[in-house]
Chain A
Amino acid sequence: MIENSKSAVVIGGGIAGIQASLDLAEMGINVYLIEKKPSIGGRMAQLDKTFPTNDCSICILAPKLSECYRHPNITLYPYTEVKKVAGEAGNFTVEILKRARYVKEEDCINCGLCAEKCPMRVDDEFDRQLRKRRAIYLYYLQGVPAIMTIDKDHCLWFTKKACRICEKNCERKAIDFEQKDEIIILENVGSIILATGYNLIEDIDNGILENYGYNKFRNVVTALEFERLECASGPLEGHIKRFSDSETPKKIAFLQCIGSRTEHTFGYCSSICCMYTTKEAMIAYEHDNELKSFVFYIDMRAGGKGFQSFLQRGAEEYNIEYIKSKIAQIKIDEKENPIIVYEDLDTSEIKQLKVDLVVLATCIIPPLGIEKLSEILGIDLDEYKFVKTLPFMPIETSKQGIFTCGCVHEPMDIPRSVAEGSGAAARAAEIIRGG
């Protein structure tokens, strides 16, 4: 193995960043994996199952998370953000801000006692605000590192100088309210890989979703919310119940292309929604054989490996009906059952369908904070604010030595994100190994 003092910095601990980090580490290169959230795992950790195999997302992700945590060549910086980048390819200097958790990492054993005692209730971001967590919390159960974090914005000590019950109850004396944010300077960085993933249209204040009844009607949810609802480790433990009356929905409408492919919102195609909608409908059917699902689509996009047969199975074995259509309106009846008014493009008739629950396949948007980060890195964004890449080289940004992979530059599925993670690692390695 070539002795090397140059390291790589990977920004973003989702599956693309994790793959890039693991490959680089296995090549003998030192990697600093920076992640904004308290644990790595990204969006994949929020999924119940993944298409087209419908295998359990956490099950296939968890070994990679452990590997990252334990690998001697990877230094994990969770709850950390990149503040400054200077230098050039082969010799960057990266300044990162490691936020204080107010919990000592070496001492916390994740026994959960502190959270049990905490009196605060905060919307849980991992569960898409569908349940409450405490002010001292674990980002998600299988997260790595499995260390509690105190949310300064909601902790009674930081807001009102009261409480500190968690500290009193921690047997390991792991709580440390005096902990400070830390600035760390990483020098001699050969390459940087940007893999900060994506947000969804519902994360920005956008009136589009209200047109479809979101935030207006209780029985309209977004796809990621539905994913958390059907997940065994989610807020309803996988027992899907609608919010208006806690009834189990027997008819679900999945609406595609919400906020995408239209010029007055986001003009691009969000790529993965056709597939994940079928997946979600399949999982829901596995939970309840009486369920009938309706997918309202414009074009079903299933070009990946095994994707077309996946859709076929959905239609044949999982009671899913695909309706090529244009949605005109969503309204509700007196029992809050949503009614879809649509134009059936196979027959050119205007029709109405009453269902129990509506799931919106919302558009993937660039990650919040990408504009600031792109300035720090000195890279260009495209017209949609995704990271701009070079023709036929989607892993290269506009700046030499900074590479990118995954949804931060274009919406894509997991296999592609993983392949890109490896691809970015190869390009990063070329600089670091010399040549």
Chain B
Amino acid sequence: MDFEPKILGFLCNWCSYAGADLAGVSRIQYPPNMRVIRVMCSGRVDPKFIFEAFQQGLDGVFVLGCHPGDCHYLEGNYEAEKKFNMVSKFLKLIDLENRVRLDWVSASEGGKFGEVISDFIDQIKKIGPSPLNTNNPDLNLLDKLKAIEIAAGTERIRALVGRQRKITEIENVYGEIVPLTKFNDIFDKAIADEYIQARILLSLEKDPKSIKDLAIEFNIDPSEVLKNILILKSRAQVDMEKIIGITPIFVKV
């Protein structure tokens, strides 16, 4: 049976939604796989929406905003770009990054709207259904996705995303511009850290585990786990429940 993807699209009221309407008025035909959620600005799209969409088993998510410089709310689309950037980095950890796209369509680009949608649907058709789009979704992957949603929702990540434009383009609190490469180093590290910490927390929520248990579960080095357990412990997010032999068992607080 031919795979028909189910795509969720976020369209901004002033440009892309209007462009989609124009495609309609011009009777431009495109595949019927997308379902639209209208927002006022592409900058409204909270990363959590995208992660929830994948947890719901959708095969692809599309965010369409105004062209850079044209945002009805002046800068919302620039913020959308930064959020999308963060989403992509997280999704890359679980090989889902080719299931999301951010693009710009103006209110007068009915044709372009049709093209962009058709293109994305083709792309998703080629890579097949989402591993979560079945009656028996990959539970491991679902867990990872939940961890990503938690990690992306931490203050640290959200603050980095929210401040990115200001500190890389204008100035930080010290009056300096942080070069993009330096920012990305900090950002990438934060993403890696928060992800593993979220995974640890989710895992310990189910039942207490040792460092070795977690290292096997995540298929990473025990020293990596230890490092993050210590950080979580210092934040009082995990604690040592007991010691079996010489092995400490940790539990979520």
Contact = CB atoms under 8 A, between A and B. Distances in A.
A232 B112 contact: yes
Interface size class of A (residues with CB under 8 A): 10 to 19
- Give the interface SS of chain B, mostly helix, strand, loop or mixed: loop
B110 A56 contact: no
Contact of A141 (B14, B22, B106, B112): B22
Interface stretch (A16-24, A57-65, A388-396): A57-65
A233 B67 contact: no
Contacts of A125: none
Given A232-B111, A238-B111, A56 B26 contact: no
Contacts of A206: none
B69 A141 contact: no
A61 to B, nearest CB: 9
Contacts, number: 48
A56 B25 contact: no
Contact of A59 (B15, B25, B111): B15
B107 A55 contact: no
- Give the interface SS of chain A, mostly helix, strand, loop or mixed: loop
B34 interface: no
A53 B69 CA distance: 8
A237 interface: yes
A238 B26 CA distance: 15
Contacts of A60: 70
Contacts of B106: 55-56, 59
A60 B109 CA distance: 13
Given A141-B25, A141-B26, A58 B107 contact: yes
Interface in A230-253: 231-233, 237-238
19 contacts: A53-B69, A55-B67, A55-B69, A55-B70, A55-B106, A56-B70, A56-B109, A57-B108, A58-B107, A59-B15, A59-B66, A59-B106, A59-B107, A59-B108, A60-B70, A63-B14, A231-B108, A232-B112, A233-B22
Interface of A: 48, 53-60, 62-63, 141-142, 231-233, 237-238
Given A56-B109, A62-B107, 10 more contacts: A55-B69, A55-B106, A58-B107, A59-B15, A141-B26, A232-B108, A232-B110, A232-B112, A233-B22, A233-B110
